[in-house]
Amino acid sequence: MKKLLKITFISLAVLLMQGCATHQNFVNKYNSWVGQDINRLIQKIGYPDSTYILPNKNKVYVYERSRVYSYPSMAMGYGYGRYYSNYYGMFGYGNDVVHETCKLYLETDKKGIIVKWGSRGNHCVSN
């Protein structure tokens, strides 16, 4: 019983911490950087992963974030298993793999002022 209570408490704590990181916070954070100097942003979050020049001579700074992790899962299904003996069953065990990505694009004008930004990915969130 104590083990179940401990697992429940840890799971709840992780969920509460995850709830603070949202896409809306991410949008608000980078909207506030529009009009600011890119050098200030670089000092705050570090060097970009890549840069490129647009045809209009504006520069784009690209930050990439990727994370792959797995967690145990219990698949529901009906099938025939033959691990220790021949049996029919309703449960199977395995791992679910999650791939979270976020690519942030910051466009600056010739003076280094952020004029707009965009993002792609399935996990662009911020606290």
Q: What are the tens digits of pLDDT across the range 63-100?
A: 999 989 888 876 555 555 555 555 555 555 667 888 99
Q: Which amino acid is at 5?
A: L
pLDDT of residue 69: 85
> How many domains is the chain built from?
1
- What are 4-62's pLDDT values in tens digits? 555 555 555 554 455 578 999 999 999 999 999 999 999 999 999 999 999 999 999 99
pLDDT of residue 95: 77
- What are 98-119's pLDDT values in tens digits? 899 999 999 999 999 999 999 9
Phi, psi of 108, deg, nearest 5:
-120, 155
Q: Which residue has the tokens 């993002």?
A: 119
Domain assignment present for residue 125? The answer is: no
Domain assignment present for residue 112? The answer is: yes
For 102, other C-beta atoms within 10 Å of its C-beta total: 19
| Residues contacting 75, CB < 8 A, separation 6+ | 91, 92, 93, 94
Domain assignment present for residue 81? The answer is: yes
Domain extent at residue 37: 2-120
pLDDT of residue 71: 80
Nearest-5° angle of CA 95, CA 12, CA 8? Answer: 75
Give the predicted TM-score (pTM) of the model.
0.68
Domain assignment present for residue 22? The answer is: yes
CA distances from 47 to 5, 33, 51, 62, 95 (A): 43, 16, 10, 9, 35
